[in-house]
Amino acid sequence: MNTADTTASALPSSCFVARDGKPLRVLIVRTSAMGDVLHALPAVAALRRLHPDWYIGWVIDPRWLPLLQAEGGERVATGNPLRPIVDCVHAVPTQEWKRHPFTFQTARGIAALGRELRAAHYDLCVDMQGLIRSSLVGRLSGAPRYVGRIKPREGIARFLYKLRVATASPHVIDQGCELLGAAIGGCLTAGEVALPVDPAAEAWATGFLERILPRDLWTKFAFITPGAGWGAKQWPGERYGAVAVALAEAGYATLVNAYHPDDHIATEVVTASLGCAVVAASTMAQMIALERRAVLVIGGDTGPVHLAMALGTPVVGLYGPTDPARTGPYGPHSRVLRHTSSVVDHSRHNATETGLQRITTEEVVTAALALLRE
């Protein structure tokens, strides 16, 4: 297999026009996780704006489908609020395959995916994930041009790409723009992302707010998301509760993100809030609807915080073992708090990182109120 390494400026755009003169057909591989999908979206949204006539497909794990299309979105044209950015979504249970790699069901699913992707006749495939399994998924597409990073997250993946791109930007959103821009032989700048608007989820959010909040607070609530991918990124729940108390004193309600009603992390926050916060157990689509209406989102380096930035909702981000220069809130309507003693460490420790522990409740309240005043 012939492969080449390049940078974003090395490829003439004329090399990326479909031979038959038709609009290019581009496949994005970014199967998970929530925050990573959201970090890839600005580059794909920029591609959509630059080439509105191109056909864009996306391979994604079913858990994250609501980030690309609402229920029923598979039946509408691109640009519809149900599916605003991509033309086609290929739902692939890669996590399930990872758990059960040697079963007949997995083998059958992989074969079916290969047939589905090849039937779409993609001209270009871009692996924006950089894992071995994502690179293998991209190879299944049969796209004549297959692009990935020179230094993917899992090094072996690079050998499956036909073209490898070097990225230099600190932030992963800009890296995604570099990668996808090089893949199309152009230049992409991250911009506004349109997320699906699910009518059923929006109706649920309206009813939920009407049930739990006084009318004057339906448009004056903060959304706290206390969980994280691992314990070291998780600020103490009792401090989030104290923040909710301070927000109540300032005239704001607080909802606490939860994936089910008995979520122990959310319950800890609500207990510490002395009744000033309410658990908001929701699906992915329902969480999107709530965050779209919130005046502020507070949380660590986690998917719901990145979701808020994609929606344009102001964010207070609390960072410890991860670098906000790489994965922090992207845009002007945010405040990032990180203690100088924090050190980048992706070892998945359970205990809250020492520097993150040193961020005080008062600092978070001050940042939150400053954003609310803006």
- Tens-place pLDDT, residues 340-366: 999 999 999 999 999 999 999 999 999
pLDDT in tens, 110-120: 999 999 999 99
Tokens of 326: 């790489």
Closest CA to 179 of 46, 15, 326, 322: 46
Strand order in the sheet with 253-258: 277-281, 253-258, 221-225, 296-300, 315-319, 334-338
Same domain, 118 and 258: no
Residue 313 lies in a domain: yes
Tokens of 83: 């599916």
CA distances from 346 to 230, 322, 324, 369 (A): 9, 7, 13, 31
- Looking at 184, 209, 244, the residue that finishes a domain is 184
Same domain, 235 and 283: yes
Residue 78 lies in a domain: yes
Q: In the chain, how many domains are there?
A: 2
Residue 243 lies in a domain: yes
Torsion of CA 59, 61, 64, 68, to 10 degrees: 20
Residue 35 lies in a domain: yes
Helical spans, DSSP H, in the chain? 34-50, 94-99, 104-119, 132-140, 172-184, 199-212, 237-249, 264-272, 284-293, 303-311, 324-327, 354-357, 361-373
Same domain, 105 and 227: no
Same domain, 14 and 128: yes
- Looking at 140, 161, 184, the residue that finishes a domain is 184
Residue 191 lies in a domain: no
- CATH code of the domain in which 14 resides: 3.40.50.2000
Residue 189 lies in a domain: no
Tokens of 129: 């994930």
Residue 192 lies in a domain: no
> pLDDT tens digits for the chain (374 residues)?
556 676 544 444 444 545 567 899 999 999 999 999 999 999 999 999 999 999 999 999 999 999 999 998 888 888 899 999 999 999 999 888 888 988 999 999 999 999 999 999 999 999 999 999 999 999 999 999 999 999 999 999 999 999 999 999 999 999 999 999 999 999 999 988 999 999 999 999 999 999 999 999 999 999 999 999 999 999 999 999 999 999 999 999 999 999 888 899 999 999 999 999 999 999 999 999 999 999 999 999 999 999 999 999 999 999 999 999 999 998 889 999 999 999 999 999 999 999 999 999 999 999 999 999 98
Residue 194 lies in a domain: no
The helix (run of H) or strand (run of E) holding residue 91 is strand 88-91
Same domain, 175 and 293: no
Same domain, 175 and 213: no
Same domain, 135 and 46: yes
Check residue 20 and give its pLDDT: 65
Same domain, 180 and 244: no
Same domain, 138 and 271: no
Length of the chain: 374
Same domain, 253 and 118: no
Spatial contact of 336 and 324, defined as CB atoms under 8 Å apart: yes
Alpha carbons 277 and 267: distance in angstroms, whole number? 10
Alpha carbons 316 and 331: distance in angstroms, whole number? 12
What 3-state class would DSSP assign to 258? Answer: strand
- Looking at 184, 210, 226, the residue that finishes a domain is 184
Check residue 140 and give left, alpha or beta (phi > 0: left; psi -120 to 50: alpha): alpha
Same domain, 47 and 149: yes
Spatial contact of 316 and 248, defined as CB atoms under 8 Å apart: no
Spatial contact of 295 and 219, defined as CB atoms under 8 Å apart: yes
Same domain, 360 and 242: yes
Where in the sequence is the domain holding 42, given as residue range(s)?
Answer: 4-184
Three-state SS annotation for 207-229: HHHHHHCCHHHCCCEEEEECCCC
